[in-house]
Amino acid sequence: MYLNFMPSNASETQRGTASARKRGTSSLLLLGPAFVAAVAYVDPGNVAANLTAGAEYGYLLVWVLVAANLIAVLVQYLSSKLGLVSGQSLSGILGRRLGRRRRLAYWGQAEIVAIATDLAEVVGGAIALKILFDLPLLLGGVIVGIVSLVLLSIQSSRGQRPFEFVIIGFLAIIAIGFLAGLVVGDVDWGQAAGGLLPRLEGTNSLVLAASMLGATVMPHAIYLHSALSVDRHGGQPRTAIPRLLRASRWDVVASLVIAGSVNIAMLLLAAAALRGEGGTDTIEGAHAVVTANLGEVVGLFFGIGLLASGLASSAVGSYAGASIMQGLLRVDIPIVWQRAVTMIPALIVLAIGADPTWALVLSQVVLSLGIPFAMVPLVRLTANRAIMGEYANGRWITTAAVIASALIIALNVALLVLLALGIE
């Protein structure tokens, strides 16, 4: 009896283990949407902000990136949860709840956000092509736009999963490109750890901290994640929601740990290689100094990382713009037309010879204006039991989300006021 019992129990154990493995494998297959959204957190605007922070203040503002990433985890999870539970994107819900005039006005500000997003990404990609191949900025911008359309065609023709794999590949290239410098860079890890203590040094560091926070939690990424969740998991039975939410939590944490590490790596690289150096007020100048101080291989990786950032974030930004337009205008508009609307202003900026780094900074200021229009409705809708049912935010999540929203909005208002007053 004992001998008979052991094989039976072993068989049950094996079946249980196999079932657990199957659940684990299938859960891994649910990951992906957050990695697409995470590309927004390592776009060229982030590159400009993080390099500037490290070059001007060394390790002082490491804490800003850590705080921004923690807030981003909460915000992106709420956006994903809204899509999974309601079956609608954030812009889609707003499009159904707002009257015609308010809906058009809301779409107007969201479209400005999409244009500002594309400005940063096309310009950043153009700068990368100039660094790598010495191409004229305008030609580089056109190439970035064309490649982003090719990437979007993968989603249109092959579906969501292949598109996610391509974007995850770009995210890996971005990570390698900006983490490579840490291998040979002379980072003072003691001072870097000291940068985790929240503090500032004057008004300019406050402006820069607000810029970094605003560049990290971007409005189009908030709209986007809910749309990605609907596109990927829409049509699932309600009984699948708990499992999808668990997978989403892992998806968000894993993707933003990578994105956050890349952002911190940019700042550490700048603090180690750019601090006290002249000519680092532009991305091209920063690349030149990095190459001179750390070698041509690191400079090459830097350029490749910046190019991957521009190409991937441009495609993802266009995806976000199309979902916003579809949700708020409630019409299906070909992605090519949406791409043209948002890309033309970026090409005009490049054609007139405007300072590309200045254009990146300006785009981040515009994006800061759009944050409340995305964050406030997100927090309210995910706390609404009529929409979310038993999955509505609890008191602690709502409190944390309100505090995070208030912090981001307050810092960005401070940024705008200080810039308007011309305070250095």
Q: Residue 338 pLDDT more than 90?
A: no
Q: Which residue, 240, 234, 235, is CA-closest to 27?
A: 240
How far is Cα 245 from Cα 120, in angstroms, rounded to an integer? 32
Answer whether 130's CB lies under 8 Å from 300's CB. Answer: no
Residue of higher predicted confidence among 86 and 205: 86
Could you give the domains of the chain?
A: 31-421 (1.20.1740.10)
Q: Residue 334 pLDDT more than 80?
A: no
Query: Against a cut of 0.85, is the pTM above it?
Result: yes
Q: What is the pLDDT of residues 268-291, one digit of tens each?
A: 999 998 887 777 778 888 888 889
Q: What is the pLDDT of residues 21-52, one digit of tens each?
A: 444 445 676 788 999 999 988 988 888 888 88
Answer whether 241's CB lies under 8 Å from 23's CB. Answer: no
Listed range (104-113, 150-159, 243-252) with the worst mean pLDDT: 150-159
Q: Which residue, 48, 62, 19, is CA-closest to 123?
A: 48
Q: Residue 14 pLDDT more than 70?
A: no
Q: What is the pLDDT of residues 165-186, one digit of tens each?
A: 999 999 999 999 999 888 887 8
Q: What is the pLDDT of residues 261-272, one digit of tens each?
A: 999 999 999 999
Percent of the chain with pLDDT over 90: 43
| pLDDT mean over 339-359 | 82
| pLDDT mean over 116-122 | 86
Listed range (114-128, 313-327, 331-345) with the worst mean pLDDT: 331-345
Q: Is the dihedral of CA 308, 183, 189, 53 positive or negative?
A: negative
Report DSSP letters for 17-65, one per residue: HHHHHHHHHHHHHT--HHHHHHGGGGSHHHHHHHHHHHHHHTTTTHHHH
Q: Residue 210 pLDDT more than 90?
A: no
Q: Which residue, 107, 111, 91, is CA-closest to 381?
A: 91
Listed range (47-56, 84-93, 334-343) with the worst mean pLDDT: 334-343
